[in-house]
Amino acid sequence: MTDAVGLAVIGAGYWGPNLVRTAQATPALRLEWLCDLDEERARTVLGAYTTVRATTSYEAVLDDPAVDAVAIATPAATHFDLVRSALEAGKHVLVEKPLTMSAAEGRKLVDLADRTGRVLMCDHTYCYTPAVRRIRELIHGGELGEVQFVDSVRINLGLVQSDIDVLWDLAPHDLSILDFVLPERVAAVAAHASDPIDAGRACVAHLTLWLTSGAMAHVHVNWLSPTKIRTTVIGGSRRTVVWDDLDPLRRVSVHDRGVDRVPQGPDQRREALISYRLGDIHVPALPEQEALRGVMAEFAAAINESRPALTDGRAGLRVITLLEAASRSIANGGATVPTKENA
């Protein structure tokens, strides 16, 4: 049996309490500290009956030999310094998205984790949902055939963030999912954004991604929609999968429907006929499992097995690379920006 990993959660705001709850429900982890600039808030999150300590001192957490790892849930702009300090102190790190605010910073953290032999993992939570895991299996198992298109919509009313725009707030979810489920990478990005309420940052954004296979993916993120939609459609040459995260009875459906091209004659491209395939719709049974518990279990397993996590620092770096390319595209009026494979 492996001893439980001593963990400290950094940040008691929006996401930190969820990390505290799931860490305490993960047998492979032993929660030691909750660190926040507001110690009273940290104590409130922990409750009256707990052996977990609350503190405002990050240094005290890093100096504690009982702490093997930290889980960071603080504003994105603070990630680089907090992660770097933890890695330099010999701690494993789980950090919520985005990994950092620039690819240059992300690369430094990935290199530092390699040098120190520590696990650096990104909390790309959706990648640990049963739905996304099944979609990955369908694609990598060849059941969809070659991916022909992706259309992803993530819109809702709020929350308008004070430190990042809608692109950096919501798109990391979709980009991390695509990075996780698709066998190919993104070759180029074009993006458009708007700020119709004069918030001082983009509140609506549309991203077009060209995959290395030649297929196109589209991502729409929006803080201003009164209707909440969480839908992704991935079309393949054999089948199409639809993921509706808001439909508990039919989160994933696999459609044996599509368009086939039937070559005719010697000039096959010009003389091809189009046929429409109308087959069955299959709704696979999915277990009801909390994704964040999967994140915590994977973090502990990666540490104990001395291996990279499924959503490691390099996965986080790939997402940041795409976000930076999208931001450059927006700044240049939606111009297509090639992406460099930095991860």
Span 53-93, pLDDT tens digits: 999 999 999 999 999 999 999 999 999 999 999 999 999 99
Q: What are phi and psi of 231, to 5 degrees?
A: -135, 135
pLDDT greater than 70 at residue 122: yes
Q: What is the chain's mean pLDDT, rounded?
A: 93
User: What is the band of 1 on the pLDDT scale with cuts at 50, 70, 90?
Assistant: very low
Please write the tens of the pLDDT for every residue from 230-265: 999 999 999 999 999 999 999 999 999 767 766 666
pLDDT value for 272? 59
Alpha-carbon separation of residue 68 from 7, 54, 91, 314 (angstroms): 6, 17, 5, 21
Q: Please report the pLDDT score of residue 2 as a whole number.
A: 61
pLDDT at residue 263, rounded to an integer: 67
Neighbours of 316 (CB within 10 A): 29
Q: Report the share of the chain in percent with pLDDT over 90.
A: 85
What distance lies between CA 320 and its chain's CA centroid?
11
CATH 3.20.20.70 fits 127-289+322-338, yes or no: no
Residue 270 pLDDT: 56
pLDDT of residue 163: 80
Residues 63, 67, 68: CA angle, nearest 5 degrees: 115
Secondary element (H or E) of residue 40? helix 39-46
Q: Any idea where the domains of the chain sit in the sequence?
A: 5-125+291-312, 127-289+322-338
The beta-strand segments (E) located in 131-223 are: 147-157, 186-194, 204-211, 216-222
Q: Is residue 108 predicted with pLDDT exceeding 50?
A: yes
Q: C-alpha distances in angstroms, 120 versus 69, 107, 126, 173, 274?
A: 10, 12, 18, 18, 48
CATH topology of domain 5-125+291-312: Rossmann fold (3.40.50)
